[in-house]
C-alpha cells in the first residue's frame, strides 16, 4: 500500500511539475513573441519597418519554435511559420498593407493558439 501510494504521489508530482513548467514556458514564449510581433506591427503601420526588422523577428521565432516543438502540436507551429515567411517577404517589398493583415493574423495566433490547449470543456470533448 505504501509503495502504491508513493508511486501515485511521485507520478502525480512529476505530471504536476511538468504541467506547471509547460504552462510557464509556453505562455512566456508566446507572450514574448507576441510583443515582438506587436513592435513590428507598429513599425509596419508607420511604414518604417524594413526587411531586417522582419528577419530579426523571424529568427527569434525560429529560435523559440525549436523548444516549442516539444510542447505543442507541430501543425500549429507550421501555421505561424507560413504567416511569418509571408510577412518577411511583404515587408521587404514594402507592401505594408498586406503585411499588416498578416501580422494581425500572427498576433491573433499567439493569443488563440495557447487557448486551444487550456483544459476547458470545448477542448476536452
Partner 1 sequence: MNKTINMVLVMIRTAVIFVVLLIIMRLMGKRQIGEMQPFELVITLLIAELACIPMADASIPLLYGIISVVTIYVLHEIMTLLDLKVKPWKSFISGKPSVVINKNGIDDYQLKRNNLDVSDLIESLRSAGYFSLDCVDYALYEANGTFSALPKQDYEQMQNSLPLVIIDNGKYDEKNLELTGLSRTFFDEILRNRKVQNVKRVLVLTADGNGKLYLQVKGKKFETLQVEYPAHKVW
Between 74 and 94, name the residue whose CB sits nearer to partner 1. 74
Q: Provide DSSP, 11-59.
A: HHHHHHHHHHHHHHHHHHHHHHHHHHHHHHHHHHHTT---HHHHHHHHH
> Minimum distance between the CB of residue 28 and partner 1, rounded to whole angstroms?
9
Between 52 and 125, name the residue whose CB sits nearer to partner 1. 125
Between 24 and 95, name the residue whose CB sits nearer to partner 1. 24
Residues 9-68 that bind partner 1 (CB under 8 A): 11-12, 14-15, 18-19, 22-23, 26-27, 30-31
Q: Cell 523577428 maps to which residue?
A: 57
3-state secondary structure of 87: helix
Amino acid at each position: 500500500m505504501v509503495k502504491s501510494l508513493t508511486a501515485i504521489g511521485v507520478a502525480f508530482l512529476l505530471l504536476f511539475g511538468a504541467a506547471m513548467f509547460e504552462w510557464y514556458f509556453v505562455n512566456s514564449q508566446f507572450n514574448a513573441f507576441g510583443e515582438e510581433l506587436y513592435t513590428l506591427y507598429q513599425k509596419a503601420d508607420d511604414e518604417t519597418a524594413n526587411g531586417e526588422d522582419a528577419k530579426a523577428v523571424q529568427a527569434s521565432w525560429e529560435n523559440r519554435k525549436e523548444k516549442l516543438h516539444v510542447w505543442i502540436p507541430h501543425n500549429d507551429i507550421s501555421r505561424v511559420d507560413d504567416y511569418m515567411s509571408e510577412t518577411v517577404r511583404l515587408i521587404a517589398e514594402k507592401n505594408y498593407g498586406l503585411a499588416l493583415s498578416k501580422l494581425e493574423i500572427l498576433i491573433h495566433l499567439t493569443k488563440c493558439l495557447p487557448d486551444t490547449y487550456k483544459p476547458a470543456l470545448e477542448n476536452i470533448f
